[in-house]
């Protein structure tokens, strides 16, 4: 097993899953602390890298598009301290980080994991029930209903309508955006048929949105959004089904091209074996898998 332990957190890989445990360092954000341990199956991984730096390096885990509901809702807007798929690594542990990267990459090669998008979430999302208070309200999700409650900072016209309860079946889309510069952020639930087409009111006045002002707990609202998204139909499912062609016999040219790819993979495996990256057992297993496809 490959493992690296840092103040920022611990990553370990046993050949099948990568276990990510948040550390105790002050730079570890509330999102990572609240999520706790995350188990990432190898088939959800698109790539992994280690970037060296002057004072410290950084491990980055890249997941396949659509594999993680948290990444789906945040769209790359999570800060480093809140991103569970980044790990700060002290320079004296760079060798350990590089070893972990090599082990994961070798496993991806041996298992021939596709790096393309998926049509179902491969990670379950945050645990339930979940309640987060930030900005002008509190959002609660129990797996079936979202409840939005307002506080003394809520705009009067929005608060006057009272708390809102939204059934999961009525949620058409979920949007989360952090506060950026002078622009406030929000967690919004689009509801009903056609809920994603009409322009909604500003979050300050929207009874289906919590307005966020850039305070410490704001990123936690993304967890509520991720928990809801994880239980909704996957956005890639219909697209993958629509694009999937009807099975047909492969023409001779395509078969030849496929054979070229497999032969090239055999050569790559041989080079890795000669370089000592793959053991005899790993090389034999991988070679047999390729030969079966030939």
Segment 30-61, tens digit of pLDDT: 999 999 999 999 999 999 999 998 889 999 99
Beta carbons within 10 angstroms of residue 201's beta carbon: 13
CA 172 to chain centre: 21
Q: Which residue has the tokens 């090389």?
A: 283
| Three-state secondary structure call for residue 173 | strand
Neighbours of 255 (CB within 10 A): 11
The pLDDT, as a whole number, for residue 4 is 97
pLDDT band per the 50, 70, 90 thresholds, residue 254: very low
Give CA angle at 288 (285, 294), nearest 5°.
150
- Sheet with strand 137-141: strands edge to edge: 130-134, 137-141, 145-150, 164-167
pLDDT digit string, tens, across residues 196-244: 567 889 999 999 999 999 999 999 999 999 999 999 999 988 654 455 4
Average pLDDT, rounded, for the chain: 88
Helix (H) or strand (E) holding 261: helix 252-274
Residue 31 CB contacts under 8 Å (≥ 6 apart), including other chains: 78, 82, 83, 84, 219, 220, 222, 223
249-268 average pLDDT score? 60
Over residues 101-120, mean pLDDT: 94
Smallest Cα–Cα separation from 139: which of 225, 68, 204?
225
Under a CB-based contact definition with an 8 Å cutoff, are residues 232 and 168 in contact? yes
Name 212's bridge partners.
185
Q: Quote the pTM value.
A: 0.80
Residue matched to tokens 């798929």:
85
Give the burial class of 55: count Cβ atoms within 10 A of its Cβ; 0-12 exposed, 13-18 middle, 19 or more buried: exposed
pLDDT digit string (tens) for 142-192? 999 999 999 999 999 999 999 999 999 999 999 999 998 889 999 999 998
Tokens, residue 30: 């509330």
Q: How far apart are CA 283 and CA 269, in angstroms?
A: 7
DSSP states of 51-62 as a string? E--SSEEEEEEE
């Amino acid at each position: 097993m490959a493992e690296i332990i840092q103040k920022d957190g611990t990553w370990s890989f046993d050949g099948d899953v990568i276990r990510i445990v948040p550390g105790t360092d002050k730079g570890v954000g509330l999102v990572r602390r609240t999520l706790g341990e995350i188990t990432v199956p190898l088939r959800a991984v698109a790539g992994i890298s280690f970037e060296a730096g002057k004072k410290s390096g950084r491990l980055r885990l890249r997941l396949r598009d659509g594999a993680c509901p948290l990444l789906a809702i945040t769209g790359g807007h999570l800060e480093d301290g809140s991103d569970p798929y980044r790990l700060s690594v002290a320079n004296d542990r760079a060798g350990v980080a590089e070893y972990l990267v090599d082990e994961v990459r070798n496993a991806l090669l041996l298992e021939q994991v596709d790096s393309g998008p998926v049509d179902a979430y491969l990670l379950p999302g945050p645990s339930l029930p979940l309640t987060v208070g930030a900005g002008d309200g509190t959002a609660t999700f129990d797996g079936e209903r979202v409840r939005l409650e307002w506080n003394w900072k809520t705009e009067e016209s929005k608060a006057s309508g009272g708390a809102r309860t939204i059934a999961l079946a009525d949620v058409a889309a979920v949007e989360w955006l952090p506060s950026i510069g002078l622009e406030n952020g929000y967690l919004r639930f689009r509801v009903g048929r056609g809920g994603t087409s009409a322009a909604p009111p500003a979050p300050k006045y929207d009874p289906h949105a919590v307005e966020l002002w850039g305070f410490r707990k704001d990123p936690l609202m993304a967890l509520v959004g991720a928990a809801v998204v994880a239980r909704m139909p996957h956005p890639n499912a219909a697209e993958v089904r629509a694009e999937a062609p009807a099975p047909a016999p492969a023409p001779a040219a395509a078969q030849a091209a496929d054979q070229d790819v497999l032969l090239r993979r055999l050569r790559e495996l041989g080079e890795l074996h000669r370089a000592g990256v793959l053991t005899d057992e790993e090389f034999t297993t991988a070679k047999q898998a390729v030969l079966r496809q030939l």
